[in-house]
């Protein structure tokens, strides 16, 4: 079990990511997300302030309809417009020294050969600070932007993802041996061709000859992030992920989820500790508890509850705009609502939860309101439950992070809850796992040296 | 006709781009191209030194075989390994203020929706300094890395490119109206949905619903570069390109080519001046002509002639490794050699040109050897022929550029051949054409306002 917490900043290259409506507040500089300096100054602040990673979320399409269309999404900036996170990641990597940069990308967004090369290039230029958040997509419009008629069935998405990863692993781990690169001025040998291999991949969806064009980068395979929550999703994450982003309502639930996923990981030949878990968490910080509660109330007042509901429903393919916010959830006869109901009834006791409760709850189930000391106490509970990191959700960029860094980080440091920095910059995997390269127990490791004989 | 010359630095994110063998020389820091600082320091030097643009060349596969395989390419670093130029472009944009960044990308590398978003994001974060060099691919291995059995036929590549551009133009020019983005804190309107449109594109190869996720960037469509030399390639460039990279042997040939392409442009409803031409050119600079000639001889001695031939043949799909370097070209019975023959016989008089002549000629036909004043004289001849810019080819990164900036740029400035800088940074198109957005005569312009009625 990890003895320290790794801090990750959960952001998206858009105006309204999670806590909707806050872009209207002057503290919310995310309104100007097109301006690179917002991100580079945030990244430097995070790097200097004790954060290990900036996590760039993304979706590549509109959320499902609300009130019969997508006008509300555009009007309120609900993750549209949004900019490509990979492009931003490269700019951030170029302007920082130590910060890990986690980038979200779907397996249907780019051919694997191209994606592998972009990631490897980013790993070189960041000196090994890249993580990839593997997503399989859940928005109809997202698929229709990429040539599909609509969303692929859930299991087909994961099957395709397995194939996609297979190509990437071959390129990242198998195409170049460690001893390939010589750069030898005297002999004139730049790389030894006996150690560079085509991969000749052929599967249902992909045919890729290789070799990888990029020589081995510091991490080779980027640190692999995932957030699958379904049964298939958990199995996928347990097999491939090194870091899993969770949004559990309590340390107790987290503990049981962690045990479950690690058990599947062990069945896949991995060790439980090969996977670390990052809990999503937002914070309202006060000098006193009273002040914190007052600030929380003020934040709730500027939060756009209709957009909170549009976001949740839009991700599930349910248009909650058809019902009034005070409609009890159990009165909504729509497939998929039962899941929400189970999730929300834990926090609403003695009455029927409504859509308003769902909106109210979203982003608050994992919100801690209190003094820095109270927050540190609560974070220790997550640590004790087996969580390795906290993915810090913001209401305002950058001030949510500025406040956390100024007020909470010193308390965490005083308690020894943050890992001290090495004198020299590390790779992201080195920082989290103590080694630059993927564990030998990971499925990708089987491709190391696997193409030795191929010269055609 | 342009009265000043725009300077572009022609580089590739690899060790051995054009003048092969020079990475072995200590002046050739391109040996360490994985190191970002090589590129960011070069970019700053170019920006401060009077260059308008850094041009990142690329190929996404191995060149065709030499001596029966691709071992020689790897051994000598012939454009392998190489890193993704887009990723580097973003890092360069983040660390410069004024330099244009031209990135090469093939139309089969990414789905158009994804590519459009990456480019638009880059145009935002660079504040409008992006150019895209449109390529259609010419390497068998390149296509086999992207799921194809081999290279598509020439005309099919251009047909696909036409479709691809059509999708991009719809996303860049038509999906968002200029008045869409409000970011209004008071009303809470981030963007006006009446001015954001799906594109509902359907063609033979592409089906893209839209809308574009990115709000209009400073240039919308990036500055469009192209280098097509075939009949179809010229027609394509005359229709779409705003800047064309040429490698003509003389100002006279350039003048005639420029007239030819501009005539086709006019047939397409454009003005001749809507297209600017950039001549590729390398330089060997001496305080005296004698010194320059001595340096040129030294450079020829460290140049790897076999790799020069491997590069030329590999791009044509001909393995010249089967013949001795002293074989007369006319003795080589291979389709496609006639083109080289015509090209080389202009510079070799009184004897039969050999493969060695081809190697020797490559990168030298457009090489100027002389004093800064002599070089400036020659560049004036190019300017008089109608060329708008010089794409400066290097032997050594960064020293070829350092030398050019220290010695030639001051002479060009003294003669008023370089355009003075505006006080405020400009967009790249603004710098070259005096306007941020594509000309209304460009085929992309027809999509402006074309999707006004679509709300589905």
A37 touches B: beta carbon within 8 Å: no
The answer to whether the Cβ–Cβ distance between B113 and A62 falls below 8 Å is no
pLDDT at A1 over 60: no
- A222 and A116 in contact (C-beta within 8 Å)? no
What pLDDT shows up at residue B1?
Answer: 41
Crossing angle (nearest 10°) for helices B85-94 and A85-94:
60
Nearest 5°: phi and psi at B314? -65, -30
Greater model confidence, B230 or B50: B50
pLDDT at A364 over 80: no
The answer to whether the Cβ–Cβ distance between A81 and B215 falls below 8 Å is yes
Asked casually if ipTM beats, i.e. exceeds, 0.85, the reply is: yes
Nearest to A114 among B109, B207, B214 (CB): B109
pLDDT at B94 over 80: yes
The answer to whether the Cβ–Cβ distance between B84 and A196 falls below 8 Å is no
What pLDDT shows up at residue A357?
Answer: 86
pLDDT at B297 over 90: yes
What is the mean predicted confidence (pLDDT) over B432-446? Answer: 97
Domains along chain B with CATH numbers: 6-288+367-447 (3.20.20.30)
3-state secondary structure of B170: helix
In B58-77, the residues whose Cβ lies within 8 Å of chain A are: 60-62, 69-72, 74-77
pLDDT at A2 over 50: no
State the first-to-last Cα distance of chain B, in angstroms, to the nearest integer.
Answer: 47
% of chain B residues with pLDDT over 70? 97
What pLDDT shows up at residue B363?
Answer: 63
pLDDT in tens, A53-72: 999 999 999 999 999 999 99
3-state secondary structure of A150: coil
What's the CA dihedral at A312, A318, A322, A326 to 10 degrees?
A: -40
% of chain B residues with pLDDT over 90? 85
% of chain A residues with pLDDT over 90? 85
pLDDT at A417 over 60: yes
pLDDT at B456 over 80: no
pLDDT band at A135 (very low <50, low <70, confident <90, very high): very high
In B383-422, the residues whose Cβ lies within 8 Å of chain A are: none
Instruction: For Cα atoms A322, A328, A334, give the angle at the middle one, nearest 5 degrees.
Output: 55
What is the mean predicted confidence (pLDDT) over A189-209? Answer: 97
3-state secondary structure of A456: coil
pLDDT at A32 over 80: yes
Nearest to B95 among A31, A94, A189 (CB): A94
pLDDT band at A335 (very low <50, low <70, confident <90, very high): low
In 3-state terms chain B splits into helix, strand, coil percentages (rounded to 5) of: 45, 15, 40
Q: What is the mean pLDDT of chain B?
A: 94
What pLDDT shows up at residue A456?
Answer: 53
What is the mean predicted confidence (pLDDT) over A322-326? Answer: 91
What is the mean predicted confidence (pLDDT) over B353-371? Answer: 84
Write the DSSP assignment of B249-277 as a string of letters. SSHHHHHHHHHHHHHHHHHTT--GGG-EE
pLDDT band at A350 (very low <50, low <70, confident <90, very high): confident
Q: Which two tokens stand for residue B98?
A: 């004024």
Sort out which chain B residues have CB atoms less than 8 A from A25's CB and list them.
185
Cα distances from A261 to residues A227, A242, A264, A380, B106, in angstroms, run 12, 11, 5, 21, 41
What pLDDT shows up at residue A453?
Answer: 59
Sign of the four-CA dihedral A54, A60, A65, A67: positive
Sign of the four-CA dihedral A238, A241, A247, A253: positive
What pLDDT shows up at residue B2?
Answer: 45
pLDDT at A339 over 90: no
User: How far apart (Å, rounded) are the C-alpha atoms in residues B37 and A17?
Assistant: 33
User: How far apart (Å, rounded) are the C-alpha atoms in residues B73 and B68?
Assistant: 11
What pLDDT shows up at residue B335?
Answer: 65
User: How far apart (Å, rounded) are the C-alpha atoms in residues B444 and B169?
Assistant: 5
pLDDT band at B9 (very low <50, low <70, confident <90, very high): very high
Nearest to A91 among B94, B185, B215 (CB): B94
In A6-35, the residues whose Cβ lies within 8 Å of chain B are: 13, 15-16, 21, 23-26, 31-32, 34
Q: What is the mean pLDDT of chain A?
A: 94
- B183 and B223 in contact (C-beta within 8 Å)? no
pLDDT in tens, A229-286: 788 999 999 999 999 999 998 999 999 999 999 999 999 999 999 999 999 999 999 9
> CB pairs below 8 Å between A and B: how many?
235
Q: Is B204 left (phi over 0), alpha (psi -120 to 50) or beta?
A: alpha
pLDDT band at A390 (very low <50, low <70, confident <90, very high): very high
What is the mean predicted confidence (pLDDT) over B92-101? Answer: 98
Nearest 5°: phi and psi at A451? -110, 25
Greater model confidence, B204 or B454: B204
Greater model confidence, A220 or B350: A220
Nearest to B111 by CA among B146, B69, B65: B146
- B336 and B317 in contact (C-beta within 8 Å)? yes
B120 touches A: beta carbon within 8 Å: yes
Per DSSP (E only), the strands in B199-309 are 201-202, 207-208, 223-226, 243-246, 276-285
What is the mean predicted confidence (pLDDT) over A2-14? Answer: 93
């Amino acid at each position: 079990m990890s003895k320290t917490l790794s801090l990750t900043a959960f952001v998206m290259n858009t105006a309204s990511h999670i806590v909707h409506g806050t872009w209207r507040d002057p503290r919310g500089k995310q309104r100007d997300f097109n301006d690179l300096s917002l991100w580079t100054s945030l990244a430097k602040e995070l790097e200097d302030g004790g954060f290990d990673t900036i996590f760039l979320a993304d979706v590549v399409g509109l959320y499902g309809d609300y009130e019969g269309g997508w006008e509300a999404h555009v009007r309120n900036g609900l993750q549209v417009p949004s900019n490509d996170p990979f492009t931003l990641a490269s700019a951030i990597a170029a302007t920082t020294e130590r910060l890990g940069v986690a980038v979200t990308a779907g397996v249907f967004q780019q051919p694997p050969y191209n994606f592998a090369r972009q990631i490897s290039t980013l790993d070189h230029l960041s000196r090994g600070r890249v993580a990839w958040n593997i997503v399989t997509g859940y928005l109809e419009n997202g698929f229709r932007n990429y040539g599909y008629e609509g969303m692929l069935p859930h299991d087909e998405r994961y099957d395709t993802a397995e194939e996609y990863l297979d190509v990437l692993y071959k390129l990242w781990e198998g195409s170049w041996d460690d001893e390939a690169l010589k750069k030898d001025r005297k002999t004139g040998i730049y790389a030894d061709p006996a150690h560079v291999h085509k991969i000749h991949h052929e599967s249902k969806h992909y045919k890729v000859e290789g070799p990888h064009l990029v020589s081995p980068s510091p991490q080779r395979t980027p640190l692999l992030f995932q957030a699958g929550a379904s049964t298939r999703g958990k199995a996928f994450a347990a097999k491939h992920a090194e870091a899993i982003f969770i949004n559990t309502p309590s340390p107790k639930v987290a503990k049981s989820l962690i045990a479950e996923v690690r058990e599947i990981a062990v069945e896949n030949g991995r060790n439980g500790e090969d996977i670390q878990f990052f809990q999503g968490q937002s914070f309202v910080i006060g000098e006193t508890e009273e002040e914190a509660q007052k600030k929380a109330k003020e934040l709730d007042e500027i939060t756009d509850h209709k957009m909170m509901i549009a976001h949740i429903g839009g991700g599930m393919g349910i248009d909650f705009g058809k019902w009034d916010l005070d409609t009890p959830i159990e009165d909504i006869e729509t497939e998929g609502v039962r899941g929400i109901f189970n999730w929300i009834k834990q926090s609403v006791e003695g009455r029927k939860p409504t859509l308003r409760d769902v909106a109210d709850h979203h982003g608050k189930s994992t919100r801690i309101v209190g003094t820095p000391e109270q927050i540190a106490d609560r974070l220790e509970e997550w640590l004790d439950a087996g969580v390795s990191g906290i993915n810090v959700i913001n209401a305002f960029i950058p001030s949510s992070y500025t406040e956390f860094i100024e007020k909470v980080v010193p308390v965490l440091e005083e308690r020894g809850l943050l890992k001290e920095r090495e004198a020299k910059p590390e790779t992201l995997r080195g920082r989290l796992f103590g080694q630059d390269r993927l564990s030998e127990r990971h499925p990708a490791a089987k491709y190391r040296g696997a193409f030795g004989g191929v010269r055609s």
